Amino acid sequence: MNKSILKTNTSRRNFLGGTAATVALTAGVGTPWIAQAASNVKIGLIHPATGWAAYPAAQLRYGAQMAIADINAAGGIKSMGGAQLEALLGDSQTKPEIGAAEVEKMNEAGVHAIQGCYQSAVGLAASAAAAKYNIPFSVDVGVSDKLVQRGLPNVFRMADGYGRIARDAATNLGEINRLAGSPAKTVIIVHEESEFGTGTAKLMTAALKEHSIEVIDTIKHANPTRNFDNVALRIKSAKPDIVMPINYPGEYVLLAKTLRQQRVDFMASYSVLGGGFNFKFVDDLPQIAENMIDVNHWYNPSSASGQAMRAKTEADGNYFTFEVYCAYMSVMFLADGFERAGSTDKEAVNAALAGSTIDVDFMPYGKTEMVNGQNMGSRAVAIQAQKGDVQIIAPSEYASAKAVFPRT
Amino acid sequence: MISASLSMLPAAIINGFMYGAIYALVALGLTLIYGVLHIINFAHGAMLMLALYAAFFLFDLFNIDPYFSILIVTPCAFIFGYLIYRYGIGSLAKGKDQNILLITLGLSIIIENGALFFFSGDQQTVNLTYGFEAFDLGFMYLSYPKVISFFAALLMCAILWAAMSLTDLGRAIRAVAKERQGARLVGINVEHIFAVTFGIGIACLGAAGCMMLPIFYVDPYTGNIFVLVAFTIVVLGGMGSVVGALVGGFIIGITESVGGLLLGESLGQIGISLIFILILIFRPTGLFGSKV
């Protein structure tokens, strides 16, 4: 039936007319689109938008898109005639192979730079895929040092990796302990089983020795873990001075709740890159969070831009978690690379990023200095929940409050 | 190290019983749907997540205690399950197993992504005044929510067992499960019974969600954490067996807890897989299942 209608209505004249109209429409509508696409700088955002890490991924997207909007509002990439930044969104689904596939799709779509991916394992796969095309790749969150130690010239990271975070975490703990009269001598580490937890735990064990603090047990757990009672009882039996969680948000909160339920007594919970330690945790479970310490990426609360970003984030109904400003910083870093390269040429942009000296005053960082893709000016800080807020307690130059240690 | 672990063995076993009861709650719904209707409900985890969210919002918006919200969530879950089967799965599947698989898989995708869209991926917990109160057993503390969930699971199993064994509805469900055409010939409305059974299965999830919220957290993917364990329990206990679900829940809970204590929390999960393989080899009908 349909076939006969088509046959009847499609004469040679109609066909030629239709083709001409299609060509005219394509020329009329398509040209501006191509012109616009050429002038835009496309930044791919690859995060686990679905799956157990959907919340941090949403926070990362929010921070990146806030930065893109701010940069565009300020005139875009000026050296490229005010080219606007455009986000291409990708979902890694928490899987390394999907993260790498997203890079391929974005390359087909003409992406100029990529940032991601929250999980180190996904970041490793995605950045390796980006390296095939020399696409500039900025790690917004991802702590494995392998990300920037593979000699890939297109991979950069502004925030710290776990090597330097572990060193700083041990130094800060040593200092906090010394100021309190050195009451803490033993630690139990509870870490998740992937690259992030295992690698950080290994580094912390070595780093704490230098501060005369002994790791008496290391407990590894699966993702997800439904039940932390045995872990709590094991910690209770070993009586450590400090409990050191290194895990993702769900397990971080569940462990903290279980330690409280089992009445485990210790001087401090001192987590390293504790996935669940943020303003939301402090709001939701204040009686547990009070005086818990975490060493993590954090903003500089004394900077005007940091305060403004926090105010905007909260006005938008979001919590000001580290993902927001790490993603914002990563977009700023990439935009600065395009600005100084003056084009989207991959070689030129990678060279510009490798020599970046961008100033990020909303982070408690020193001067930006890129060495083999890693910013040597970055640093993590020790933060503590105090009276319903989060304060920086170390290092001293950024401290907004004194440490409560041992906890009250 | 080993002696320290052995000294904690009683605590680990009790802990296993507590969590086993929670797993049994999730498995109860599954054993009815999977065991009686022979429907592999891929949306089971997503529906559990919805129940957790229902309990969470009742607490967050109206300050209704999760245990009281059982009275609201359970009947709502029954109606939801009934309607989903009657006007969704039942009518669209046209009796074909592959259609049922695809429909429930599609449902799980819609529910999970709907939750992600409307509720965000943020993990939500409730902070109850009694959430950290506990019974002191000397060698461990048993929190009130875990104890309540334990006894509630026993009660639910007893009610469900009585309903399946002693009521006309239970007999009708069992008749439909064993011989569909025969049941139809004696006047049983098979489609209605299927929908009711599915509704009861989802109602069990509703109650389970309310009891789990004070212990756990909820995000759009929480349900998946429990659903594989629940499938293992159903196979272990025997498809369609209420008692099997409870006993299977306890066995899995204790295996996980003791395995975690002796082998480490990461490797301890291996016990669950081992039991699953052993039961398939030596008793494929499950502990309380009967041969078809």
A and B: number of Cβ contacts within 8 A: 105
Please, which pLDDT band fits residue B8 given cuts at 50, 70 and 90?
Answer: confident
CA-wise closest residue to A144 among A195, A206, A205:
A195
Instruction: Give the one of B125, B221, B260 whose C-beta lies nearest to A253's C-beta.
Output: B125
pLDDT at res. B270: 87
List all residues of chain B from 157 to 216 with a beta carbon under 8 Å from chain A.
216
Please, which pLDDT band fits residue B263 given cuts at 50, 70 and 90?
Answer: confident
Q: How far apart are CA A303 and CA A310, in angstroms?
A: 11
Distances in whole angstroms, Cα of residue A206 to Cα of each of A87, A167, A214, A219: 41, 9, 9, 16
- Interchain contact, B256 vs A227, CB within 8 Å: yes
- Structure tokens belonging to residue A186: 């033993």
CA-wise closest residue to A261 among A227, A295, A224:
A227
- Residues contacting B79, CB < 8 A, separation 6+: B199
CATH topology of domain B2-120+131-282: ABC transporter involved in vitamin B12 uptake, BtuC (1.10.3470)
CA-wise closest residue to A39 among A84, A93, A5, A88:
A84
> Would an 8 Å CB–CB cutoff place B273 in contact with chain A?
no
How close A221 comes to chain B (CA, Å)? 4
Q: How far apart are CA A174 and CA A110, in angstroms?
A: 49
Contact (CB, 8 A) for A246 and A269: no
Which chain B positions have a beta carbon within 8 Å of A53's beta carbon? 121
Contact (CB, 8 A) for A279 and A305: no
Percentage, residues of chain B above pLDDT 70:
97
Burial of residue A25 (CB within 10 Å: 0-12, 13-18, 19+) is exposed
Q: Residue written as tokens 């909260």?
A: A314
pLDDT at res. B1: 52
The arithmetic mean of pLDDT across residues B118-139, rounded, is 91
Instruction: Give the one of A55, A221, A254 whose C-beta lies nearest to B266's C-beta.
Output: A221
- Interchain contact, A53 vs B220, CB within 8 Å: no
- Site from B1, B122, B261 to mutate, A interface, most A CB atoms within 10 angstroms: B122
Which residue of chain A is at minimal alpha-carbon distance from B253? A227
Instruction: Give the one of B8, B127, B217 whose C-beta lies nearest to A237's C-beta.
Output: B8
How close B129 comes to chain A (CA, Å)? 11
- Interchain contact, A226 vs B141, CB within 8 Å: no
Instruction: Give the one of A55, A230, A250 whose C-beta lies nearest to B260's C-beta.
Output: A230
How close A80 comes to chain B (CA, Å)? 36
Neighbouring-strand partners of residue A385:
A390
Q: What is the DSSP letter of A65?
A: H
Q: Is A119 helix (H, G, I), strand (E, B) or coil?
A: coil
**Ranges of each domain in chain A:** 2-37, 40-160+319-375, 163-296+382-398
Neighbouring-strand partners of residue A294:
A271, A383
Could you tell me the maximum CA-CA distance found in chain B, to the nearest angstrom? 65
User: Average per-residue pLDDT in chain B?
Assistant: 90
* Complex-level ipTM: 0.86
CA-wise closest residue to A102 among A81, A118, A78, A126:
A126
- Residues contacting A222, CB < 8 A, separation 6+: A192, A193, B265, B266, B269
Domain A40-160+319-375 in CATH 3.20.20.80? The answer is: no
Q: How far apart are CA B187 and CA B184, in angstroms?
A: 5
Class of domain A163-296+382-398: alpha beta
Give, for A113, the enclosing helix (H) or strand (E): strand A113-116
Give the global pTM: 0.85
Pairing relationship of beta strands B141-143 and A374-375 according to DSSP bridges: unpaired
Q: How far apart are CA B39 and CA B101, in angstroms?
A: 8
pLDDT at res. B37: 81
Judge whether A40-160+319-375 and A163-296+382-398 match in fold.
yes
pLDDT at res. A36: 42
- Overall residue count recorded for chain A in this entry: 408
CA-wise closest residue to A253 among A234, A219, A278:
A278
Please, which pLDDT band fits residue B289 given cuts at 50, 70 and 90?
Answer: confident
- Dihedral sign from CA coordinates of B196, B198, B204, B206: negative
Contact (CB, 8 A) for B240 and B289: yes
Q: How far apart are CA A286 and CA A292, in angstroms?
A: 10
Burial of residue B171 (CB within 10 Å: 0-12, 13-18, 19+) is middle
- Interchain contact, B15 vs A230, CB within 8 Å: yes
Across chain A, which has 408 residues, the per-10-residue mean pLDDT values are 37 45 42 49 97 93 98 96 97 96 97 96 96 98 94 97 94 94 96 90 95 95 88 93 94 94 95 92 93 95 95 96 97 98 97 96 94 95 95 91 91
Which residue of chain A is at minimal alpha-carbon distance from B222? A52
Per-residue pLDDT reduced to its tens digit, B204-241: 999 999 999 999 999 999 999 898 899 999 999 998 88
Which chain A positions have a beta carbon within 8 Å of B260's beta carbon? 227, 230-231
Q: How far apart are CA A279 and CA A388, in angstroms?
A: 8
- Interchain contact, A262 vs B7, CB within 8 Å: no
Q: How far apart are CA B277 and CA A330, in angstroms?
A: 48
Which chain B positions have a beta carbon within 8 Å of A56's beta carbon? 121
